[in-house]
Amino acid sequence: MNQLRRFLSEVHTAGEIYKQNIDEKLNVCLGNVSCDMDSAVGAILLAYYLTHKNEYFGDYGNYEIFYVPVINCPRAELVARIDIRHHFESYGIDLKNLVFIDDLDLNHYSNNKILNLALIDHNKLDYSQQAWDNSVTFVLDHHVDLKAYPNANKVIEFCGSACSMAINSIFKNNLHEILTKEICQFFSAAILIDTENFKPTLKGTKWSQIDEDAFLQINRIAFLDNYNELINLKTDRKANIELGLDLILKKDYKNYQWKNCVAGISVCFNSLHDIMQQFGVEALKIKLKERMQTNNLNIHCIITQIYLKTGEAFREIMIFDPDLDRLQQVSEMFEKKCPYALQRKKFTGLKGNFTFFYFKDESVSRKKVEPIFKDIFETL
């Protein structure tokens, strides 16, 4: 939450300055007067997004590119929003850092034509706030369009939560680095409430794909630590090579039958070079022949999946067949029929019962390769 707390600290500082009714532009994000979770959290979310979009944190102190989220209820009335107050406090947000509608004299800024209003969770100001109509420049909302502010930049779509729309805007503008696990959890509150935790019977009437897309995006971040821990354990090259050749080939293995051919495919998380360098080509050949006898195989393949530090995956395939003529046929047909970009791979000095390829398409998996071999052996 440090990034969000840093932002809210700036909100507090900006609020103290703008309380003095200065003659400089004030950018405000404002939810509707009901001030429910979607409006309260939404004002913070939209301001957080627009402030980062304007690259404020590369130009500290220039509040003309900073957006102040204003909670659209008097400060004393927040206590009546029991869920909102609890939500803020449970995430360690100091309520003193927040700016409420009675903290600023927005009439001063509106009358002097230096108020820039971005609305969220409504597309027309309440009648009690219509003096600020001419200041509205941006609208992000999910209610029926009341056709106000024709000159404003408006995004009005059906969904459960206006926060979903703001979240999707963050990802659309490639600003997802401003989101962390805790920040995603904080902003997801409004989405969960307004979709009733994505109650299936309410899809299409109370919430839409827009909400689902937003929640999927933030959950990818919220569960990133869990994913990284598990995928790193699964694919750790040192830990896998220490399993030994037998377990490497058994760890993620499946049998297939294609017409008159029985094949085995292992998936491993060390490169073929690592395996041959660690255990030697002869040991690999002996182990493969041993497994082929045990499992009554005609052919044995190894697919490697190596995850790089960039997050990309490097994938190879080795085809092993004691029948050299069949190996040549299968290899040529595989190269011809494979719809995924690939290239033959050569290991200098290595000949015999092996053919190697590496895939230029990182999405390739055993599931995608199996139908290609099935087609090959049904036409041989």
CATH code, domain with 206: 3.90.1640.10
Q: Are residues 193 and 252 in the same domain?
A: no
β-bridge partners, 70: 30, 99
Residue 230 lies in a domain: no
Q: Are residues 29 and 156 in the same domain?
A: yes
Q: Are residues 214 and 264 in the same domain?
A: no
Residues 168-225 pLDDT 10s: 999 999 999 999 999 999 999 999 999 999 999 999 999 999 999 999 999 999 999 9
Average pLDDT for residues 316-320, to the nearest whole number? 94
- What residues have CB less than 8 Å from 359, skipping those under 6 apart? 315, 316, 317, 340, 341, 342
Overall number of domains in the chain: 2
Helix (H, G, I), strand (E, B) or coil at 70: strand
Q: Are residues 28 and 85 in the same domain?
A: yes
Domain that holds residue 198: 2-222
Q: Are residues 181 and 119 in the same domain?
A: yes
Q: Are residues 86 and 194 in the same domain?
A: yes
Q: Are residues 194 and 339 in the same domain?
A: no
Q: Which pair of structure tokens corresponds to residue 222?
A: 């919220």
Residue 246 lies in a domain: yes
Q: Are residues 246 and 202 in the same domain?
A: no
Q: Are residues 277 and 215 in the same domain?
A: no
Per-residue confidence band for 309, with pLDDT thresholds at 50, 70 and 90: low
Which of 222, 253, 271 is a domain's end point?
Answer: 222
Residue 165 lies in a domain: yes
The answer to whether residues 45 and 167 touch, using CB atoms and an 8 Å cutoff, is: yes
- What residues have CB less than 8 Å from 185, skipping those under 6 apart? 91, 222
Which among 184, 185, 119 is positioned nearest to 152, based on CA atoms? 119
For the chain, first and last CA: distance in Å? 60
- What residues have CB less than 8 Å from 222, skipping those under 6 apart? 181, 184, 185, 188
Residue 228 lies in a domain: no
Report pLDDT for 240. 95
Report pLDDT for 254. 94
Query: What is the sign of the dihedral through the CA atoms of 71, 72, 76 and 82?
Result: negative
The answer to whether residues 248 and 236 touch, using CB atoms and an 8 Å cutoff, is: no
Give the integer Cα–Cα distance in Å for 44 and 102: 17
The answer to whether residues 55 and 177 touch, using CB atoms and an 8 Å cutoff, is: no
Per-residue confidence band for 290, with pLDDT thresholds at 50, 70 and 90: very high
Report pLDDT for 330. 93
What are residue 6's phi and psi, to 5 degrees?
Answer: -60, -40
The answer to whether residues 343 and 367 touch, using CB atoms and an 8 Å cutoff, is: no
Q: Which pair of structure tokens corresponds to residue 164?
A: 């979903």
Give the integer Cα–Cα distance in Å for 218 and 70: 24
Residues 121-165 pLDDT 10s: 999 999 999 999 999 999 999 999 999 999 999 999 999 999 999
Residue 183 lies in a domain: yes
Residues 10-64 pLDDT 10s: 999 999 999 999 999 999 999 999 999 999 999 999 999 999 999 999 888 899 9
Answer whether residue 313 shows pLDDT above 80: no
Q: Are residues 170 and 253 in the same domain?
A: no
Ranges assigned E (strand) in 243-322: 253-258, 261-268, 299-307, 313-320
Answer whether residue 379 shows pLDDT above 90: no
Give the integer Cα–Cα distance in Å for 317 and 333: 14
Residue 231 lies in a domain: no
Helix (H, G, I), strand (E, B) or coil at 295: coil
CATH code, domain with 279: 3.10.310.20
Average pLDDT for residues 228-252, to the nearest whole number? 93
Q: Are residues 170 and 241 in the same domain?
A: no
Per-residue confidence band for 311, with pLDDT thresholds at 50, 70 and 90: low
Q: Are residues 59 and 186 in the same domain?
A: yes
